[in-house]
Amino acid sequence: MRYRSLVFTMAVPIAAGLLVYQKPVIAQTAPKEKPWVPARTPDGQPDLQGYWTNNTITPLERPKALGSKELYTESELQELVKREQNRVQLNEEEGRPTEAGTDADVHYDFSQFGLDPGQTKQVWNRRTSMIVGPEGTIPSMLPEARKRNAALAAKNKGHEFDGPENRPLSARCIVMGQESVPMLSGGYNNNLQIVQTKGYVAIMHEMNHSVRIIPTDGRPHVSPQVKQWRGDSRGHWEGNTLVVDTTNFTATNPFRGSGDKLHVVERFTPMSADAVLYQFTVEDPETWDKPWTAETVWSRVDGPIYEFACNEGNYGLRNTLDGARVAEKEAAAKAAGK
C-alpha cells in the first residue's frame, strides 16, 4: 500500500529556537490571552498522557555548511517544507511495484508505506539542529574513547557473522536504538504513548514495543553494579516539567560511542494540549570533553499504537547467518581448488 497524503505540522511557539511564526499585528493588540495551563492527573501532576510522535526532519547535528546558524528564516523553513514534499512525491513516483522474482523484489523499498519519515506527521521548526548552541554538533570525542571504540571494532572484525551474539542488538530484536535513551526519531516507528499513575510514568515506544517504566516516588537508582540496556531512570517534577535522570547504562549498547559512564537528563515540558518540548543533556566524562544538550518537539497524534513484532517471523537474522555459512563453504572450496 502506498501513502497517499502527507501531513506537516508547524510547531507552536514554545521556546526560543522553536518559534516558527509571529502573531499578526491585529492579534498583538487584542486582549492578552490567559496562559495555557496543562490538565492534571488525579494525584495533581501535569498530564502528559496520550499518543505522541517525535518524528522530525531536523538533524541531531547541524550541517557544517550552516556554520553557527541556529535558526532558519521563515522563508528558508518554507523552502525546506516544499523540498521535503517534493522528495516524498518523487519517491512515490519512483517506488512503482517491482518485477516479481527480481533482486529488487526480494525486500521492501523506502517508498513503501511507513518506511520514510516524510510519509507521516512531522513537526517542523526553525532549528537547524536538535543540538543547541553555536556549534550545533556533538563535542569532540576524547582520545581514550576513540581508542576504546577502535579496540572494540578491531576485536569484532572478522567475527561479525560467527553467531547471533555477534550480530547488532537491533538485528536480534533486543534494542533498536531510537527507543533507548535519549529518545530520538528514526526512519519509521516514531510514535509513543505516555501513561501516568501515582509514583510512575511509563513511556511505550512503537519501535520494538519497548516500555520505559520511570518511578517518580523518590527512590534512588539501583546499585552501580547493575547495568541495563537503556539505563536506570528516575523521575521527579519541577513545576510542569518531568525531569528524568538516567544512569547505569551498559557499554554493550553505546550511544554515539559512549561507555558505561553515560548520564542523560531528560526534560518533558507540556507547551500546549498538542505539544511537548523534549530536551535532554548528555554527558560521559570518559567519552566527550563536555556535556551537550538537544531539544525537539513531540506532537500529539491519534492512537492506538499497534504491536511491533520483531522476533516473530524474524527471518533476517537466520538468513544472514545461513548466508555467511554458505559464503564460508564457497571460500573453502575455492581455496581447495574445487
Q: Is residue 14 part of a domain?
A: yes
Q: How confident is the model at residue 9 (pLDDT cuts 50, 70, 90)?
A: low
Q: What is the mean pLDDT of the chain?
A: 85
- pLDDT for the residue numbered 12: 44
Least confident range from 32-36, 113-117, 150-154, 201-205: namely 113-117
Q: Is residue 38 part of a domain?
A: yes
Q: Which domain holds residue 178?
A: 8-300
Using a pLDDT cut of 90, give the percent of the chain over it: 66
Extract the C-alpha cell encoding 182: 535519549
Give the CATH number of the domain where residue 243 resides: 2.40.128.20
Q: Is residue 167 part of a domain?
A: yes
- pLDDT for the residue numbered 114: 58
> Whole-angstrom Cα distance, residue 301 to residue 316?
31
> Whole-angstrom Cα distance, residue 292 to residue 281?
6
Q: How confident is the model at residue 104 (pLDDT cuts 50, 70, 90)?
A: low
Residue 321 has pLDDT above 80, yes or no: yes
Q: What is the DSSP string of 51-111?
A: EEE---SS-SS--GGGTT--B--HHHHHHHHHHHHHHHHHHHHH-PPPPTTSGGGSS--TT
Q: Is residue 332 part of a domain?
A: no
Q: What does each C-alpha distance from 256 to 178, 189, 300 come to in angstroms?
A: 12, 20, 28
Q: Is 174 exposed, middle or buried (0-12, 13-18, 19+ CB in 10 A)?
A: middle
Least confident range from 176-180, 217-221, 322-326: namely 176-180
Q: Is residue 329 part of a domain?
A: no
Q: Is residue 294 part of a domain?
A: yes
Residue 28 has pLDDT above 60, yes or no: no
Q: Is residue 1 part of a domain?
A: no
Residue 69 has pLDDT above 90, yes or no: yes
Express each pLDDT in 261-289 by its tens digit.
Answer: 999 999 999 999 999 999 999 999 999 99
What is the length of the chain? Answer: 338
Q: How confident is the model at residue 5 (pLDDT cuts 50, 70, 90)?
A: very low
Please state the domain count of the chain: 1
Q: Is residue 147 part of a domain?
A: yes
